[in-house]
Amino acid sequence: MLTLATTAPGEPEIFSSLQGEGPSLGRPSTFVRLSRCNLACQWCDTAYTWRFEGDNRPHRDDTVYDRKANQVALGEGDIAARIAALPPDRLVLTGGEPLLQGAALARMVASLNELRPGMHIEVETNGTITPHPALDPLIHQYNVSPKLAHSGNPPDLALISERLAAWVTDGRAFFKFVIAEPSDLDEVLALRDAYTIPGDRLFLMPEGRSSDVLRERAIWLAEICVHNGFRFTDRLHIHLWGDTRGT
């Protein structure tokens, strides 16, 4: 069984859309959003995957979600069948933190490969969890988003040295850093230098949950990318559909 987020009570968040971020931006993809996360970003736009009653980790909205309404458990075969029935030939496993459920994901992807051979499979991860050994060979791309200080996560939880070093050596891994202020660049540069992250695998993305905020920050962030040889990524889905579930 896998624990998924929901678009409405009892309805799993499995949907087709355009990938809105990172190296696959604009590509038609099917998304499966997993519930639960080991980190707690104070600006997280999917806090309904982790901030349930009794969880006092800070979030700027200060909203607490009902677990029963926002989580649903489904069998791996059922999920694979739902994915296979949708048109895109790419799958994005997102969260929450999907690698917390690595063993069950491996079984689901194995079932999917029988139903729809050849699908390109991406994992969106905060970079702190080692991929399950049964899942790792089935993944084509990792979108790794290490969390900077402005996320509110302690660095000893969010920036695990051995994991960052391992992701750099994995050619499937792309790094995406969320930027809220120009001063956040100092942390990115320090991490780039410490772990020798190649510029062509390093993306900067403006933090924001509305088009207005994203456009404002994109103006100065684009200049930073040009000056430092980094790649820029927008949040296409926010511009198209707003900050909504199932998009």
C-alpha closest to that of 119 among 80, 90, 149: 90
Model's pTM, two decimal places? 0.97
Ordered per-residue pLDDT tens for the chain, 247 residues: 999 999 999 999 999 999 999 999 999 999 999 999 999 999 999 999 999 999 989 999 989 999 999 999 999 999 999 999 999 999 999 999 999 999 999 999 999 999 999 999 999 999 999 999 999 999 999 999 999 999 999 999 999 999 999 999 999 999 999 999 999 999 999 999 999 999 999 999 999 999 999 999 999 999 999 999 999 999 999 999 999 999 9
C-alpha closest to that of 46 among 7, 104, 2: 7
Domains in the chain: boundaries: 2-174
Rounded to whole angstroms, the Cα distance separating 244 from 40 reads: 19
> Residue 65 contacts by C-beta under 8 Å, 6 or more apart in sequence?
47, 48, 51, 52, 53
CATH architecture observed for domain 2-174: Alpha-Beta Barrel (3.20)
- Cβ-contact 11, 72 below 8 angstroms: yes
Residue type, 81: A
Q: Which two tokens stand for residue 40?
A: 């707690």
Q: What are phi and psi of 102, to 5 degrees?
A: -60, -45
Element (H, E) at 188: helix 185-195
Q: What are phi and psi of 112, to 5 degrees?
A: -65, -40
Rounded to whole angstroms, the Cα distance separating 3 from 11 reads: 12
> Residue 225 contacts by C-beta under 8 Å, 6 or more apart in sequence?
204, 231, 232
Q: How far lies 235's CA from each of 71, 166, 222, in Å?
A: 25, 27, 13
Rounded to whole angstroms, the Cα distance separating 94 from 213 reads: 23
